[in-house]
Chains A and B, each alone.
Chain A
Amino acid sequence: MSTDTDTAAAAPDLETLEAGQQLPPMHKFPDEAQLFLYSAASHNPHRIHYDREYARFEGHDDIIVHGPLQGAWLTQFVTDWAGPAARLLGVTWQNRASGLPGEELVFSGTVTSVDAETGVVELEIAEHTSDGRLLMPATARVRLPTT
């Protein structure tokens, strides 16, 4: 259950940031232990996250990664990029497909708008498996510090 970000980049600079710029991708490697810990920490007893036989009975390939865990990763992807002085204003995500333990999950994002006056930046984000299956299309709004 580790996280890799491609660069430990400095917080984005509102002066030079513009639509079309890409965020450094974030990689997640969920395993069974992480799914167990997330079920416990989020008070989620749903069987498809810990009982392999039951998950298969419901038509999944294996136990599946929680939607809200992927949502929490989405917020981490943005807040890690934006830095501690920024404020996350909102996120949206769609659950398209399920991630499985043992898969590498990749978050990528593009700046879609920048308001230099207010510092509000809008992002389009996607979570894929490393072999390109789209799990979660998403958006985020974040306010960067204005100087």
Chain B
Amino acid sequence: MSESLIPAETLERVGEVLSGPVTTVIDRREAQRYAYAVGDENPIYFDEVAAQAAGYRTLVAPPTYVAHAVVQPRTAADLRTDGLYREGTRIRLRVDRVMFGGEEWDFLEPVCVGDEITATVRLAAVDQKEGRKGPFVRQVRETTFVNQFGDEVARSRMIGIAR
């Protein structure tokens, strides 16, 4: 086993809330703009009759749209040179590079236009693994999305790979 890439203080933060809760109302125009940008013109996103015929309360949003709906407005002064916003909460690791490894989503209830969604991001896991190219850290940020009825509607786990 090589030297740990994860400082003890970071291990202690597993379970901690990293951002949120933030609450947003799902806007019809923004959800449809997103569906068009994806090139997904499913009638359940655009036609209320089609959405209700498919068993939804009203127009539904594309499944992963909720993650983008809750992005809060930020000043351009917060942009770094790579175009990403400076993060308020940083996870300290002894690594040079963090990459997006992938995502895991559970869709529990539909997210419809007009729903009020509250998102909370937690540090779900930080584990060191041995890979072919040496040790790396697998970091999981879990976001839970809860609607105005108190139902959890979706859960996403974003997996970051750092080495």
Contacts and interface: CB of A to CB of B under 8 A. Distances in A.
B37 A41 contact: yes
A43 B102 contact: no
B38 A48 contact: no
A75 B79 CA distance: 30
B50 to A, nearest CB: 7
Contacts of B99: 95
B104 A58 contact: no
Interface of A: prevailing SS: mixed
A5 to B, nearest CB: 12
B54 interface: yes
Interface string B7-45: 000000000000000000000001001101111101110
A34 B68 contact: no
A88 interface: yes
A92 B54 CA distance: 24
Nearest to A43: B71
A101 to B, nearest CB: 13
A73 B63 CA distance: 11
Interface of A: 1-3, 28, 34, 37-38, 40-48, 50-51, 54, 58, 67-69, 71-73, 75-76, 79-80, 84-85, 87-95, 136
Interface of B: 30, 33-34, 36-40, 42-44, 50, 53-55, 62-65, 67-68, 71, 79, 81-85, 99-107, 110
Given A69-B37, A79-B40, A88-B107, 20 more contacts: A41-B33, A42-B37, A43-B71, A45-B84, A46-B83, A47-B81, A54-B83, A68-B68, A72-B38, A75-B62, A75-B64, A76-B38, A84-B50, A85-B54, A90-B104, A90-B106, A92-B103, A92-B104, A93-B103, A95-B99
